C-alpha cells in the first residue's frame, strides 16, 4: 500500500516536472503564447514583434489597424540613434510624411519598461498624441517609463517586443545618418519597411 502511494506520488511529481519543462513561466508582458505577432519585412531583414494586448489593449488595437490596412508598407525608419532607438511608421521615402489617424490613449502606466528590444509608441510632448509612429528600443531606456500622471512623467507606452530579428534591429541602428531639412538622425541609406502582416 505504501509503495503504491509513493509510486503514485512520484508519477505526479514527474508529470508536474514535464509540464513545467514544456511550459516555461511567462515573461514580463507575455500571456502564455496567445499574444498576436506581426512580421515586419525591412530592407535590413525580418523582425517578428509579439504584442501585449493584455497590457496595452487600445495601443495594440491601434497598431494592428495600421498593420491590417497596409499603412506601414513602404514607410521608412526615419530616425535612428544607435544607443537609443530606431523610429518608424510615419514617413515614406524622401521623408514624405503620411497622414495618420486619430491619437490613441497613452497606456504607458501598464507596468512595462522600455527595455532593449521592446516596441513603444512615439508621440509629441502631449501625453495622448501617439498615432502611427513607433520606436524600438536598442538599449534599456528606463527614463522613458511611466513615473507619474504628470505631462513630464507620463512616459512612452510599451506594447510589445521584438522576439526574432534583433540582429536586424542592430543592423538598422548602425546605419549612417544625417540632417534632412528640419529632421535630424535621418538614415543616409533609406531603411524601408517593405511589408507588415499578422502571423
Per-residue pLDDT averaged across 110-119, rounded?
A: 98
List, for residues 151-167, the tens digit of each pLDDT value.
999 999 999 999 999 99
The contacts of residue 114 (CB under 8 Å, 6+ apart) are: 120, 137, 140, 141, 142, 144, 145, 155, 156, 158
Q: What does the pLDDT read at residue 5?
A: 37
Cell 541602428 identifies what position? 173
| Number of alpha carbons in the 13 Å side-chain half-sphere of residue 88 | 29
- Write down all domains in the chain, each with its CATH number in brackets: 35-198 (2.40.100.10)
| pLDDT tens profile 44-67 | 999 999 999 999 999 999 999 999
10-14, 111-115, 169-173: range with lowest mean pLDDT: 10-14
Q: For the whole model, what pTM was predicted?
A: 0.84
Taking the CA atoms of residue 168, residue 172, residue 174 and residue 177 in that order, the dihedral angle to the nearest 10 degrees is 170
> What is the model's pLDDT at position 4?
41
pLDDT for residue 101? 96
Q: Which value, in Å, is the radius of gyration of the alpha carbons in the chain?
A: 20
Amino acid at each position: 500500500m505504501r509503495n503504491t502511494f509513493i509510486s503514485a506520488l512520484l508519477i505526479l511529481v514527474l508529470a508536474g516536472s514535464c509540464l513545467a519543462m514544456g511550459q516555461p513561466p511567462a515573461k514580463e508582458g507575455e500571456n502564455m503564447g496567445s499574444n498576436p505577432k506581426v512580421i515586419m519585412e525591412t530592407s535590413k531583414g525580418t523582425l517578428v514583434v509579439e504584442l501585449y494586448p493584455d497590457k496595452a489593449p487600445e495601443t495594440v488595437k491601434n497598431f494592428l489597424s495600421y498593420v491590417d490596412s497596409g499603412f506601414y508598407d513602404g514607410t521608412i525608419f526615419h530616425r535612428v540613434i544607435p544607443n537609443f532607438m530606431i523610429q518608424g511608421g510615419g514617413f515614406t521615402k524622401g521623408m514624405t510624411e503620411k497622414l495618420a489617424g486619430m491619437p490613441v490613449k497613452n497606456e504607458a502606466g501598464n507596468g512595462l519598461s522600455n527595455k532593449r528590444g521592446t516596441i513603444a509608441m512615439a508621440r509629441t510632448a502631449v501625453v495622448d498624441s501617439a498615432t502611427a509612429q513607433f520606436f524600438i528600443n536598442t538599449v534599456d531606456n528606463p527614463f522613458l517609463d511611466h513615473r507619474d500622471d504628470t505631462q513630464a512623467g507620463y512616459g512612452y507606452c510599451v506594447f510589445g517586443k521584438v522576439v526574432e530579428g534583433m540582429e536586424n534591429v542592430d543592423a538598422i541602428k548602425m546605419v549612417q545618418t544625417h540632417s534632412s531639412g528640419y529632421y535630424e538622425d535621418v538614415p543616409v541609406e533609406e531603411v524601408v519597411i517593405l511589408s507588415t502582416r499578422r502571423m
